Amino acid sequence: MHMLAAELVKLISMRSTRRCGAVILALAVGLALVLAYIDRLATDLDMSASTDSMPASAINTVAGCAPGFVIIMIMAALAATTEYRTGTIKLTLLVAPNRSMVIFAKSAAVCLLAALIGEGTAWLAYGTAKLVNPSGVESIATGAQLRAVAGVGLIYVVGAAMAVAVGMLIRNTVAAVALIVLYPVLIEYGVTTIPVVGSAIEPWLPFRMAMQFLLDRNPGFPETVAALSGWWAFAYIVVIATVLTATASIVITKRDA
């Protein structure tokens, strides 16, 4: 617990943490506000075509949380690599000779903050949209709708755990952040373009599974290509995060700081 508390203090004291949190909040709430206002304006002007093309569903109100997923991973990677950049990782490992506990405590601290940011941002975005457009934004009445909003925090937690592990493995801030930013844009997309095997690999890619977890059984959205549905998709990415964390723990235990 002392190690977890120390990691939380270090994480909160970092300027990058506060800036990333502010950007995530601004993007999510700002987009929810704009979409809800446009939907309300279109309804008032009886522009049925506009409202049909952009339904004010629960999942639409948290659309701004999507870029926040990458930002929360950047925040987590910075939390993992900053100590290597500044050289304070040597002091951390000296104080806590059990190196596995260092990564577990760091991962737990980042995941805890990611959960708070994710859940707080998602519900604030939904509440803002509902406040701006009470009759247009649907109330949460099904498990799928609840998962679409509350699931944002869970996805943030898994993404943060993955990013911490990647950061501890790579140790270089620029390389870790570049990998996190480019992965969904280039790597996952590039895999899908590989002849023959690309279509077989695509349903199992982590970002596809995360999207499936949020969108599954939500009306108005096309089915994704993910191989698993709902909570099974979430369990799949949790396994990936666990494997990455375990791998980082083994590597850190065996190599020098």
Q: What is the mean pLDDT of residues 11-21?
A: 90
Return all residues near 244 (Cβ < 8 A) that are at least 6 apart.
Answer: 161, 162, 165, 166, 169
Residue 244 or residue 99, greater confidence? 244
Q: What is the pLDDT of residues 152-164, one digit of tens each?
A: 999 999 999 999 9
pLDDT > 70? residue 81: yes
pLDDT > 50? residue 50: no
Q: Which domain holds residue 158?
A: 2-254
Q: What is the pTM of this model?
A: 0.89
Please tell me the predicted confidence (pLDDT) of residue 4: 83
- Of residues 206, 209, 239, the one with CA closest to residue 224: 209
Query: Token digits for 28?
Result: 């999510």
Confidence label for 134 from pLDDT (cuts 50, 70 and 90): confident
Phi-psi region of 196 (alpha: psi -120 to 50; beta: other; left: phi over 0): left
Q: What is the pLDDT of residues 182-223, one digit of tens each?
A: 888 788 888 888 887 888 888 898 988 988 898 877 765 666
User: What percent of the chain is predicted at pLDDT more than 90?
Assistant: 35
The mean pLDDT value of the chain amounts to 85
What phi and psi, each to the nearest 5 degrees, are found at residue 64?
Answer: -70, -10
Spatial separation of the C-alpha atoms in residues 17 and 235, rounded to whole Å: 27
Please tell me the predicted confidence (pLDDT) of residue 51: 47
Decide if 236 contacts 242 (C-beta within 8 A).
Answer: no
Please tell me the predicted confidence (pLDDT) of residue 156: 96
The total number of structural domains that make up the chain:
1
Burial 9-41 (b: 16+ CB within 10 A, else e): ebbeeeeebeebbeebbebbbebbbebbebbbe
Residue 193 or residue 109, greater confidence? 109
Please tell me the predicted confidence (pLDDT) of residue 133: 85
pLDDT > 60? residue 18: yes
Burial 127-136 (b: 16+ CB within 10 A, else e): ebbbebbeeb
Report in angstroms the alpha-carbon separations of 63 from 4, 20, 246, 250.
32, 17, 32, 37
pLDDT > 70? residue 38: yes
pLDDT > 80? residue 31: yes
Please tell me the predicted confidence (pLDDT) of residue 239: 96
Decide if 82 contacts 113 (C-beta within 8 A).
Answer: no
